[in-house]
Amino acid sequence: MALNRRELLSSAIALGGVALVPRWLRAGETPPGSPRRTLVFLHLVGGNDGLNTVIPYKDPRYRVLRPTLAVDAGRVRKISDTLGLHPGLSGLETLWKRERLAIVNGVGYPQPNYSHFRATEIWYTAQPERTPVDGWIGRALDARESEKPLRAVALGKEAPLSLACASPGIVTMTAFSRFRLPRGMETAAAAWNAYQNLPGRRGEVGAAGAQAIEVADRIAKLKPAPGPFQGRLGTEFRKVLALLRADLDLECIQLSLGGFDTHAGQAGPHNRLLTELGNNLRVFQEQLETTDLHERVVTVVFSEFGRRVTENLSAGTDHGSAGPVFVVGSGLANTFHGEQPSLDDLDGENLRFTTDFRRLYAALVRHCFDLDPQTVLGDHEPLELFA
């Protein structure tokens, strides 16, 4: 059976274990159907305490429910008459003042799940009622049929379910230096180089393979971008920035920051994590704005669930629900989206969600992937995140 070009390119990837870039990208042209934005999808692993992240500092119930963990109102970074940011989030306060930040309040879904594993599946698939098969980003990639063999990158050791799809071009990596032609492929590489200028199918396979070798070498030589990044997350953001500056026309880059499962002694570790988060997001956005990349990238920060409203006896918080999501970029509606959950109307010891996370995803599918959100997520009205 004759192969089409997309299948040939995919075959070259499978043979070489590398990604390749078509000639229109290497020439600096913009392909038809190019995405409006690259989505940078950051998962705060463990369940971030949203109530101590976006703080209802004027609500007296906040201090009643959290007698030791409540942040003093004088330390809160106030960004509205009722809500403020944790003291460690000076970087996000800067982005808010520069109109580069949108905050989505009370994000969750009906009948929340408090298992890390299952809650992550739900956020990654946007299908709480189903057994996971593919990811919400993966479905968007499938809906945007493309011959591009390199479409999304996950920084980590395992491929996240969010990117699971039928389309080729999804790569997981820990270091650029490992992204190269595997040993034992020298014979195939020589054949590709020899065939690339021949007519017909043999030439197409040869050209695809030769491009694979070229781009594998290009990515393997990338270095993490410089800049005043901090900590583990800063190391990952340096890789993200290098990938974006390489102009690979990626549709998504996913990364994560762990440590948010704060069952005991929460105050100190949570402060350090949020400080690292806020400062790196600020630096990342500032670095993007040194070029025109800031117009092409939107960063979304989420966690698989929040924490309970009441603190526990170990000076920490247990698994809960309904937390804030941060969206960073240019062209945003720089405001709060969704209603802050009430501390007077709890679901047991948990916040009631006010914004279905699929409404957030619907806005991203429409804006970043230029798709009708219903084809990916079903009937969920998109938030008006973008101005």
Instruction: Please tell me the distance from the alpha carbon of residue 180 to that of residue 157, in angstroms, as a whole number.
Output: 16
DSSP string, 48-95: --GGGTEE-TT-HHHHHH-TTTPPPTTTSEE-SSS-EE-TT-HHHHHH
pLDDT value of position 36: 62
pLDDT value of position 212: 66
What is the mean pLDDT of the segment spanning 138-152?
Answer: 86
Contacts of 284 (CB under 8 A, 6+ apart): 229, 237, 240, 241, 299, 328
**Reported confidence tier of residue 188, pLDDT bands at 50, 70, 90:** low
Instruction: Please tell me the distance from the alpha carbon of residue 252 to that of residue 170, in angstroms, as a whole number.
Output: 9
pLDDT value of position 249: 86
pLDDT value of position 28: 36
Return the higher-pLDDT residue of 353 and 23.
353
- pLDDT digits over 86-134, tens only? 999 999 999 999 999 999 999 999 999 999 999 999 999 999 988 888 9
Q: Which residue in 13, 7, 22 sits closest to 248, CA to CA?
A: 22
CATH architecture of the domain with residue range 35-144+251-377: 3-Layer(aba) Sandwich (3.40)
pLDDT value of position 5: 46
pLDDT value of position 23: 35
pLDDT value of position 131: 85
Contacts of 130 (CB under 8 A, 6+ apart): none
- pLDDT digits over 67-99, tens only? 999 999 999 999 999 999 999 999 999 999 999
Place of tokens 């969750």: 108
**Reported confidence tier of residue 291, pLDDT bands at 50, 70, 90:** confident
- Examine the pLDDT at 173 and tell me if it is beyond 50: yes
Of the listed ranges 63-77, 167-181, 205-219, the least confidently predicted one is 205-219
Q: Which residue in 369, 134, 311 sits closest to 126, CA to CA?
A: 134
Q: Are 259 and 266 in contact (CB under 8 A)?
A: no
pLDDT value of position 211: 67
**Phi/psi at 61 (5° precision):** -65, -30
pLDDT value of position 181: 59
Instruction: Please tell me the distance from the alpha carbon of residue 42 to that of residue 233, in angstroms, as a whole number.
Output: 10
- pLDDT digits over 228-277, tens only? 999 999 999 999 999 999 888 899 999 999 999 999 999 999 999 999 99
pLDDT value of position 16: 37
Q: Are 16 and 185 in contact (CB under 8 A)?
A: yes
Indicate if the alpha-carbon torsion angle 290, 293, 295, 300 is positive or negative.
Answer: negative
Give the range with max mean pLDDT: 4-8, 47-51, 126-130, 345-349.
47-51
In 80-206, the DSSP E strands lie at 84-85, 101-108, 152-155, 170-173
